[in-house]
Amino acid sequence: MKNSEVIVKISSISTKGFGVGRLGSYVVLVNGGLPEDELLIKIVKAKKHYGYGKILNILQPSPHRIDDVDVACKHFGRCGGCQLLHCDYDAQLGFKKQIAIDALAKIGGIKYPPVGDTIGMDTPLKYRNKGAFPVVTSGNAYGFEIGMFEARSHNIVPVTECIIQHPAHVAILTAFRQFLNNTGLSAYDETTHSGLVRNIMIRPSFSTNDIMVIIAINAKKTQYKDELVRTLSSVGATTIVIRKHTSKGDAPSDFDDYETIYGLGYIIEHIGELKFMLTAPSFFQVNPTQTKTLYDIALQKAELDGRGVVIDAHCGVGSVSLYVAKYAKQVIGVDVVSSAINDARENAELNDVKNASFLCGYAEVEIPKMLSSGIMPTTIFLDPPRKGCDRVLLDAVITNRIPKVIYISCDPATLARDIKILIDGGYTLKGVQPVDMFPMTTKVETIAELVL
């Protein structure tokens, strides 16, 4: 079947952005396909039960397809950042609702999942407050390139514009390219673990003029500090941090050393009435506008009356903890990242919140200890990373009969898996609300409410 040309009708969108079609019982995943597209495709990869197709011709376009997408972004189709830029926004919201429904039905075993319509944005563009851009060796005239990886590849796409990033990103990337060209500093090569500059992360605040730039290097000593500060501060950077990361793999490590070479080393972001101090290692939602929507819904579903104890698992910098604190008697946040807990404590002080405390440790270790010591929460917020909750934590929630669980998730599959465990343990799923935290992508944030 590989290299054959076939006509296929697309019926749905996968969680990774492929259009899904069928040739009898054989599933075909087509990059760029949209529901109701009729396409002439070439099978470029074939497995036993499914294959991947490349569009050769659009025979009948989907009614959701946007024709002038190349005008909106010249990188579309190469950059891996946006899978749905060519799709009408209302249709995107519908697809994301269906992704949540399918996960809960197929993985969670829920026959009729109570999923609401996805809450979208009035203007779903320029919404990202954080962008991380790899710096890689290249055969071009400069010897390096900065940009985004192509989808499912480590080939780099130079970013000279972006429809979803904060406008500050492109200006700072342009200046940083010039800095590297002027100094001759080498780009990192992941295959040989050689070279200096690994990536640049840009994190602007939407509520202040703060812009943090974090540069990861494969070294313990920083070169050309003065020139770097002059270059980046001239295009708006208010604080510059060097992340000294010499281990293999590009994900931040607990062993990384952070050096602030300009500014305060943090930025201030607002969510509603609250202020949050964000340092270089801090996790924070990438869409401040939709974060407030998300937290408002979570607070509404929690139905706090000011008298109960609330536990916030995976609390990060304390954003959920502090958002709900004035509606609770006591809030206890837990997170394994020590820098996040330090930020959470600072943020409690910054907002004069007296009834929130924060503990550093694994949620699946510390929360069972709390529960066995006699602390009895009325509500627990679960907001784990993409891999979902540890089974030990879910078992502790079930065993201790915590009356209400509010589960915030960025992965419908692991959410559905964990909800099944909670339902089997005696909980009822009252509702799931998708929120479009990531327009133009297939990612969706969801809030689930479960009660005993």
Q: Which of the two residues, 259 and 155, has the higher pLDDT score?
A: 259
| Domain containing residue 311 | 98-121+283-451
Single pTM value for the model = 0.92
CA atoms within 13 A on the CB side of 420: 16
- Is the same domain home to 9 and 150? no
DSSP 264-314: -SEEEEEETTEEEEEETT----S-HHHHHHHHHHHHHHHT--SSSEEEEET
Determine what percent of the chain is predicted with pLDDT higher than 90. 76
Do 296 and 331 reside in the same domain of the chain?
Answer: yes
Same domain, 108 and 30: no
- Please report the pLDDT score of residue 138 as a whole number: 81
Single out the residue in 236, 271, 306 at which a domain terminates.
271
pLDDT of residue 137: 84
Answer whether residue 252 shows pLDDT above 80: no
The verdict on whether 410 is a catalytic residue reads yes
pLDDT tens-digit series, residues 440-451? 999 999 999 999
Among the listed residues 87, 162, 389, 410, the single catalytic one is 410
The verdict on residue 34 lying in a domain is: yes
**Residue 201, in any domain of the structure:** yes
Is pLDDT above 70 for 430? yes
Q: How far apart are CA 156 and CA 113, in angstroms?
A: 40
In a domain, 261, yes or no: yes
Has residue 70 been placed in a domain?
no
The reply to whether 107 and 191 lie within a common domain is no
More confident residue, 17 or 213: 213
Number of folded domains that form the chain: 3
- Looking at the structure, tell me whether residues 239 and 307 fall in a common domain: no
Examine the domain organization and report whether 29 and 161 are in the same domain.
no
State whether 338 and 192 are in the same domain. no
Task: Find out whether 239 and 215 touch, Cβ atoms under 8 Å.
Answer: no
Helical packing angle, 412-424 and 391-399, nearest 10°: 40
Q: What does the pLDDT look like over 61-84, one tens digit per residue?
A: 999 998 776 656 777 777 777 889
Q: Is residue 126 part of a domain?
A: no
Question: pLDDT per residue over 320-348, tens digit each?
Answer: 999 999 999 999 999 999 989 999 999 99
- Indicate whether 233 and 324 sit together in one domain: no
Residues 263 and 358 in one domain: no
| Whole-number pLDDT of residue 182 | 93
Burial of 207 (0-12, 13-18, 19+ CB in 10 A): middle
pLDDT digits (tens, 9 = 90+) for 366-420: 999 999 999 999 999 999 999 999 999 999 999 999 999 999 999 999 999 999 9
One domain for residues 247 and 334: no
User: From CA 401, how far away is CA 379, in angstroms rounded?
Assistant: 10
